[in-house]
Amino acid sequence: MSPQSDVFQAIADPTRRALLTRLASDGEVPVAELSRGLPSPMTLSAVSQHLRVLRDAGLVSVRKAGRERYYRLNADPLREVAEWTRAYEAFWPERLDRLGAYLEGKKESTTR
C-alpha cells in the first residue's frame, strides 16, 4: 500500500476530513460545489488533489457526467480507523473524569 492510499494518511488532513463530512451529509456532490464551504478557500485544482488522495484511499468514488465529476463517500475504509481506535476507548472515560475533576477544582478556586 502506497502512502497515497493509506486511509489514516488521507484523513490526517483537516480539508480532506471536511470534504468527507460534506459528502456524508450531502451525498453525491460535484467538485465545484465541494470547493465552496471549505474551512479555507482553495482552487478547484487544490480540491481535486485532495479528492484524488481520498479516492486513492478508497474513501470516495467518482462518477463523470459530461464535463462534471460527482463524488460520493465510501465509508467502508473508515472501519479500519474505527477498529483501531476501539482499542483506546477504555482510556477516554478515565481521562474525561480527570478533566472534569480538574475543571471543578479550577471552578472552585476562582469562586473563592
SS3 at position 50: helix
In this predicted structure, what is the pLDDT of residue 37?
76
In this predicted structure, what is the pLDDT of residue 84?
86
C-alpha cell at 96: 474525561
In this predicted structure, what is the pLDDT of residue 1?
42
In this predicted structure, what is the pLDDT of residue 111?
67
**Closest to 27 in 3D by CA, of 56, 60, 2, 64:** 60
In this predicted structure, what is the pLDDT of residue 11?
94
**Closest to 81 in 3D by CA, of 59, 61, 101, 99:** 59
In this predicted structure, what is the pLDDT of residue 89?
79
* DSSP assigned state of 6: -
C-alpha cell at 14: 483537516
In this predicted structure, what is the pLDDT of residue 24?
95
Give the C-alpha separation, 101 to 94, whole Å.
11
Q: CA 13 → CA 16, 17, 26, 60, 91, distances in Å?
A: 5, 6, 20, 15, 24
Tens digits of pLDDT across the chain (112 residues): 444 469 999 999 999 999 999 999 999 999 999 988 788 889 999 999 999 999 999 999 999 999 999 999 999 999 988 888 888 877 777 777 777 888 888 767 766 6
